[in-house]
Structure 1
């Protein structure tokens, strides 16, 4: 798109289906690389990726020519197929429906990168759900408990 200039930084958060701890440390770096490849193939820029066994954080520079929902759907679908095709998870791997997407200014990027890099330390103090609800509150978003990432019933 000629004469289109944007600076859109989005912190993405999504969870493994039912928040099952399926992302194993032995292959999480390969997953990060695969996710990065998907996002870059869609012409967006990956600034940071980190995952915990039950969820992932990705900071991207988003181009305006693709909807965020389309990018997330493609990223989740292709990465789930890849995990399953490579038999990396002991059971079928799926991402939970929905996602969090939070915009940040350029000046906040170093802080967000550090936050994402320090997920292991952060989760020694706070569960994923506590963290997610906190972020929703910080951003002033109204949320309903029934739509927060679900546990296996």
Structure 2
């Protein structure tokens, strides 16, 4: 009842190469079913595409938030747009936002695959499972984004902190 390691012995290598023995005997039938379900679910979706979409969306959202805040501050006449934007935007913050977005996008894509729910926004929200997955991703993404922002503010060089205050 040990773990079958492909190519550990010529016989094991031959079995693994033919696909005859690719599971751990202790897992049993449910392990084979779970692996088959996983392969079927991931055949139509790309987790990498989900991560790229999440990173892009988060990066654009971060930049747009900095730009809109700078715009409204400039409209009030407190400062010009470029100065206000420079005080709000940082490459550390952009990097943190894209990293959190990439992880969240990959998570959401994988969860939708496992639940066999279409990944497009409106069709996925028409099912209870899709709604729960998207809500969980939004809540977790928001919390992770706040934690990342706090870490980024802590790690920013002192010159950047002086400009923000």
Q: Tell me if both proteins adopt one fold, taking TM over 0.5 as the criterion.
A: no
Which one has a larger percent strand, Structure 1 or Structure 2? 1
TM-score normalised by L of structure 1: 0.30
* Bigger helix share: 2
Give 1 or 2 for the bigger CA radius of gyration: 2
